[in-house]
Structure 1
Amino acid sequence: MAMSGGKDDGAPMMEMNMTPLIDVLLVLLIMFIITIPVATHAVNIDLPQPNPTPPDVFVEPEKNKLVLTVDNQILWNGNAVDMGQLRTLLEQSKSINPEPELQFEPEAQASYDLAAKVLQLIKASGVTKFGFVGNERYRTFGKAG
């Protein structure tokens, strides 16, 4: 520390001690110099090469459409079936490899009770590829589609 050689009259010292400021700046500079090479370090990874030719044939998986009508009919791909036949058809479709997708599309005024029973039967059958289709028609609530 700088000592003024003379009397101490209680007045504040007018010159600033620059040593701590320079020390801090030098430490920061050294830290930046050390960290820059780490940030630019590259890691080489062998990535797989893309296949230039696409597969010859894309096989569209089979889809089964299940529609519930206003008059309480169950339509399997357009053919009317009852609950027993539906159970049999679901079991048969599960045995196909790859399993066909089951598309469920109840009409707007179809019976809720029938829909609940059919969905329960589908769940009990163990079908894994299942989807609701046609819902975009009902995106605005309260308007008939």
Structure 2
Amino acid sequence: MAFASNTGGPMADINVTPLVDVMLVLLIIFMVTVPPTSYPIQVDLPQPSTVPPPPTASPDPIRIHIDAGGTVSWNGSPTPMSSLQAQFDVEGARGDNGNGAVDAAKQATIEIETDKDAEYEVLAKVLSRAKNANLVKISFVAPGASQ
């Protein structure tokens, strides 16, 4: 049996093995991705309403001021640190839904303002008492901005 060898001229054969490999990979990719897109997915979108939601009256913010001497004021009246937790508990109870969740819309915003020379320890105590009362709307106010 004699085999013909192409020894002198250019080779005219095309190597189709890489082409077949690429085509098989593309076929597998299309087979995997096409079926999930052919099934419809039910999506319940909210319907537009012409009736605006009823306005809710948000409670007035509570202004806490901490001065350089460590005195804490609740809306302008000095408050001892011992009774601050009880006042925070009353405000935190307004947002309690009864199931452990907190409705922040029913709670007043706590606006904390500190003097430049106030001690951080007093601020940390106020923040921890607010957190223990489940107050979620706490903001810091620049000195002089709450008047």
- Structure 2 length-normalised TM: 0.59
Q: Which residue of 1 aligns with 2:45?
A: 47
Q: Which residue of 1 aligns with 2:136?
A: 129
Where do 5+ consecutive residues of structure 2 fail to align? 96-105
Matches of 1:91 and 1:21, distance apart in 2: 73
Is 1:104–1:130's contact at 8 Å kept on the other side of the alignment? no
Higher Rg of the two aligned structures: 1
Pick closer, same or farther for the CA change 1:37–1:79 going to 2, 3 Å: same
- Identity over aligned residues, as a percent? 18
Q: Which residue of 1 aligns with 2:111?
A: 103
1:102 maps to a residue whose letter is I
Which one of the candidate residues 61, 65, 68 is aligned to 2:66? 68
Greater RCO (Cα-Cα under 8 Å, separation 6 or more): 2
What count of residue pairs does the alignment treat as equivalent?
A: 133
Q: Which residue of 2 aligns with 1:15?
A: 12
- Structure 1 length-normalised TM: 0.60
1:87 has 2:85 as partner: yes
SS across alignment from 2:91: helix
CA root-mean-square deviation: 4.0
Where do 5+ consecutive residues of structure 1 fail to align? 138-145
Matches of 2:45 and 2:90, distance apart in 1: 42
Which consecutive aligned stretches of 4+ in structure 1 deviate over 6 angstroms post-superposition?
A: none
The structural deviation recorded for 1:57 is: 1.4
Matches of 2:79 and 2:70, distance apart in 1: 11
Q: Which residue of 2 aligns with 1:140?
A: none
Matches of 2:12 and 2:4, distance apart in 1: 17
